[in-house]
Structures are given as structure tokens and as C-alpha cells.
Copies of this chain bind each other. A is one copy, B any other.
Amino acid sequence: MEDYLEKIYELMNDKGYARVSDIASSLAVQPSSVTKMLQKLDENEYVSYEKYRGIVLTQRGQRMGKLMKERHAMLAEFLRMLGVAEETIQRDVEGIEHHVSPRTLESLQALVVFFNTNPTALQSFLQFQATEAPSSEDPIARS
């Protein structure tokens, strides 16, 4: 559900409207899955949806969509900060964003702010990662 809301919010912002076909193709799902989810989002008062009339985000839906987008951006910033490549970032963020608790998110955000506020701390981590971390012999990373 969160994925859909995030995408609808994004389409609304970018194009001014969100069509079932656009949502379906950008989430790589069937249009029938989209209309089913729209009914659920409507029941939960995130969107107002009537077939043939289109999708409108409620205020609650706007707010939630914005939060989803901010969460995505924060997680991406965190991974970018650690030196992860852009395409990996997007894939990982899509995979994890809806499974990270508010509490963990809070800590990750604090870590982002901490490193932004203390660039020398980040610098010393990045140098550590580049030179001392046993990444190439690390069995976990190669799974």
C-alpha cells in the first residue's frame, strides 16, 4: 500500500495527475492490482477514487505520500553518504524502505545529520572503509 501511495504522490507532483496505467507501468504490476489497491486506499481515506473520474489524494494521503517520499530520500542519502553507487541505492531503498521501523529510521536520520554536521567523522569513516575494512575477504558481502 505504501509503495502505491508513494508512487501516486510522485505522479501527482510531477504530472499533476495519476492514471491507473501510469501507476501500473511504473510499479510493474497489472492495472487490476492498481484498481484493487485504489479501492483499499479509498477505504483508508488516503485517496478518493472513482472509476472513470480519476484519483484524488486526500489531505491524509498527501501527508502520507510526502512522508514516504521523504523517507525514501533520507535512506538514499544515507547510502549515498556511505559511498554506495546510485543504481544500487535505488534498488536497496525500494527493497527496505517499507520494512524499517520509525525508531530505526530515526537513528539512521540522526546518523545522516551527525555526519553532515561532522564531516571529519564521515571522512575518517570513508578513509577507514577504503583502506582498512576487510571488505574483499568479507564472506557476508559476497553472498
Contacts and interface: CB of A to CB of B under 8 A. Distances in A.
Report copies per complex. Answer: 2
A14 interface: no
Contact of A92 (B83, B88, B99, B135): B99
A44 to B, nearest CB: 14
Q: Helix, strand, loop or mixed for chain A's interface?
A: helix
A103 B106 CA distance: 23
Given A92-B104, A99-B99, A140-B71, A133 B118 contact: no
Interface in A63-92: 64, 67-68, 70-71, 74, 79, 82-85, 88-89, 91-92
A15 interface: no
A53 interface: no
Interface stretch (A16-24, A32-40, A122-130): A122-130
A105 B140 contact: yes
Which 9 A-B residue pairs are closest in the complex by CB-CB distance? Answer: A95-B99, A110-B133, A82-B107, A67-B143, A106-B141, A110-B129, A96-B96, A114-B128, A102-B141
Interface of A: 64, 67-68, 70-71, 74, 79, 82-85, 88-89, 91-92, 94-96, 98-111, 113-114, 117-118, 121, 124-125, 128-129, 132-135, 138-143
